[in-house]
């Protein structure tokens, strides 16, 4: 595991340390996720839809279930930029 992970000033650390997610940033029309092993991915409302975006924001704040949600929803899993 990479122990030198960094986040920018706009990102918040994901509270579940056993997750593959390290940090996230929420904007009006996107959620950006820093994964521990694979970099930063941006999920835009215009691609994944408002419902998925809202669910991802809720899970990010809760600190549990976001990685599972991404992996179980093909629209989200393939909808990053």
Is the pLDDT confidence value at 1 over 50? no
Q: Per the domain annotation, does 5 fall within a domain?
A: no
Burial of 10 (0-12, 13-18, 19+ CB in 10 A): exposed
Q: Per the domain annotation, does 7 fall within a domain?
A: no
- Tell me the pTM: 0.89
Q: Per the domain annotation, does 6 fall within a domain?
A: no
For Cα atoms 41, 14, 22, give the angle at the middle one, nearest 5 degrees. Answer: 50
Q: Which domain holds residue 60?
A: 12-74
Average pLDDT over residues 6-17: 88
List the beta strands (DSSP E) in the chain.
Answer: 12-13, 21-26, 30-35, 39-44
For residue 20, what pLDDT is reported? 95
Give the number of domains in the chain.
Answer: 1
Q: Per the domain annotation, does 24 fall within a domain?
A: yes
Q: Per the domain annotation, does 3 fall within a domain?
A: no
Q: Per the domain annotation, does 32 fall within a domain?
A: yes
Q: Per the domain annotation, does 81 fall within a domain?
A: no
Instruction: Give just the sign of the alpha carbon dihedral 58, 59, 60, 62.
Output: positive
Q: Per the domain annotation, does 20 fall within a domain?
A: yes
């Amino acid at each position: 595991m990479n122990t030198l992970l960094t986040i920018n000033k706009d990102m918040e650390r994901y509270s579940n340390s056993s997750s593959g997610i390290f940090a996230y940033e929420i904007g009006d029309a996107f959620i950006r996720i820093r994964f521990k092993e694979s970099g930063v991915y941006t999920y835009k409302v215009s691609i994944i839809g408002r419902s998925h975006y809202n669910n991802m924001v809720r899970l990010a704040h809760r600190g549990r279930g976001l990685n599972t949600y991404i992996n179980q929803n093909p629209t989200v899993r393939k909808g990053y930029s």
